[in-house]
């Protein structure tokens, strides 16, 4: 009996060992192909160094198969397909249209003010006007002076100019003359239309009327007025009268600033005629000329008294007419006057 038990016990031990062996083999049979075993270095003398064989990084990963291209091997030519220009753009979103909801109001910059609307709208103004579109007016008395002569032949002279209009087109009135012993000896008045042709330059077209001693004379006038290089003020005009009469008048001046208020101004004037006019005591050629030097003090740019000296004379046939009447052909006079404008 004891022998039978020993045999039975041995049988159970063998079965247990066999079961353990099968389990170990099953565990070792798992897929370790993703890992490569470490190998020893080629040189057995240096056992501290080890190297890694090339490792397949994707070994053991699940690789999803890529679907085959159904068009592989096909000829992808245009064939009968429609050209790009025939594409239907009806559903495409094009630029333009209404502004986005969060766009800023363009009137917000003006605080709500709009042209022709609101409390600040000017009645009768259909649109905004730039500075050169407005009309202006100005009057300037270039000379309003008393001339003192050593022979007692004193007189009062004036040289004035006014205009009304825009920057480019103006209506101009010029007046110049001499008054002696409460009598107008000589007077020249011009009515002109002035048009700007360049920076600082205007062309002028109009009429001129001469009054004083002798019969009145009328002229057609055309000239140019402006500021030449080096800041010379120039006024040159040609005249055409009835009976074939012609005349030319030239005036030039320069302002030399001694200080910001003290200004020295030299000035020359001359006048020539193409035909004699004995009734007015005028001969052909250079008729008269003058050169003056005036020193003014500008209390403001609009108001300036001045003093100066002037040398004037007549020439040619005009001088002959003056001598025939007992007058002097050359005069040197001291002047004092006022220059103003507004």
Residue pair 63/56 in contact (Cβ under 8 Å)? The answer is no
Secondary structure class of 218 (helix, strand, coil): strand
Burial label for 142, CB within 10 Å (0-12, 13-18, 19+), is buried
What ranges in 182-309 are assigned the alpha helix state H?
none
Tally of CB atoms within 10 A around 98:
6
- How far is Cα 340 from Cα 335, in angstroms, rounded to an integer? 16
Q: What is the pLDDT of residue 93?
A: 55
What's this model's pTM, rounded to 2 decimal places?
A: 0.64
Q: What is the pLDDT along the chain (342 residues), one digit of tens a residue?
A: 455 565 666 666 556 555 545 454 544 444 444 444 444 444 444 444 444 344 455 555 555 554 555 555 555 554 444 444 455 555 555 555 777 777 777 666 666 666 666 665 666 656 667 777 889 999 999 999 999 998 888 999 999 999 999 999 999 999 999 999 889 999 999 999 999 999 999 999 999 999 998 999 999 999 999 999 999 999 999 999 998 999 999 999 999 999 999 999 999 999 999 999 999 999 999 999 999 999 999 999 999 999 999 999 999 999 999 999 999 999 999 999 999 999
Q: What is the pLDDT of residue 101?
A: 78
Q: What is the pLDDT of residue 102?
A: 76
DSSP string, 128-145: ---GGGS-EEEEEEEEEE
Q: Closest Cα partner for 266 from 236, 299, 309, 314?
A: 309
Q: Closest Cα partner for 228 from 203, 254, 249, 205?
A: 254
- How far is Cα 273 from Cα 245, in angstroms, rounded to an integer? 8
Q: What is the pLDDT of residue 322?
A: 95
- Indicate left, alpha or beta for 118 from its phi (over 0: left) and psi (-120 to 50: alpha): left
Contacts (Cβ under 8 Å, ≥6 apart) of 133:
166
Secondary structure class of 158 (helix, strand, coil): strand
Q: What is the pLDDT of residue 7?
A: 61
Q: Closest Cα partner for 218 from 192, 189, 180?
A: 189
Find out if CATH 2.40.160.40 is the number for domain 133-145+153-341. yes
- How far is Cα 159 from Cα 174, in angstroms, rounded to an integer? 8
């Amino acid at each position: 009996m004891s022998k039978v038990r020993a045999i039975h016990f041995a049988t159970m031990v063998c079965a247990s060992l066999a079961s353990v062996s099968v389990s170990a083999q099953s565990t070792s049979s798992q897929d370790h192909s993703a890992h490569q075993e470490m190998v020893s270095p080629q040189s057995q003398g240096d056992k501290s160094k080890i190297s890694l064989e090339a490792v397949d990084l994707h070994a053991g990963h699940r690789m999803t198969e890529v679907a085959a291209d159904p068009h592989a091997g096909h000829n992808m030519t245009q064939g009968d397909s429609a050209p790009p220009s025939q594409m239907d753009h009806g559903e495409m979103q094009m630029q333009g249209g209404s502004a986005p909801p969060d766009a800023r109001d363009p009137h917000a910059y003006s605080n709500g003010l709009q042209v022709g609307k609101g409390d600040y709208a000017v009645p009768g103004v259909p649109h905004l006007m730039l500075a050169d579109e407005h009309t202006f007016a100005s009057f300037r008395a270039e000379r309003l002076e008393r001339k003192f002569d050593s022979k007692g032949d004193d007189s009062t002279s004036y040289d004035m100019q006014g205009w009304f209009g825009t920057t480019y087109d103006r209506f101009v009135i010029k007046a110049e003359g001499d008054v002696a012993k409460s009598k107008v000896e000589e007077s020249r008045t011009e009515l002109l239309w002035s048009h700007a042709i360049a920076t600082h330059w205007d062309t002028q077209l109009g009429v001129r009327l001469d009054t004083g001693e002798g019969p009145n004379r009328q002229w057609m006038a055309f000239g140019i007025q402006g500021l030449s290089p080096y800041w010379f003020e120039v006024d040159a005009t040609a005249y055409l009268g009835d009976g074939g009469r012609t005349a030319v008048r030239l005036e030039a001046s320069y302002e030399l600033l001694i200080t910001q208020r003290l200004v020295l101004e030299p000035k020359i004037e001359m006048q020539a005629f193409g035909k004699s006019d004995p009734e007015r005591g005028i001969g052909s050629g250079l008729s008269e000329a003058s050169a003056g030097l005036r020193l003014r003090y500008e209390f403001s740019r609009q108001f300036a008294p001045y003093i100066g000296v002037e040398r004037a004379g007549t020439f040619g046939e005009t001088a002959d007419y003056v001598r025939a009447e007992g007058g002097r052909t050359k005069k040197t006079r001291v002047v004092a006057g006022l220059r103003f404008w507004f």
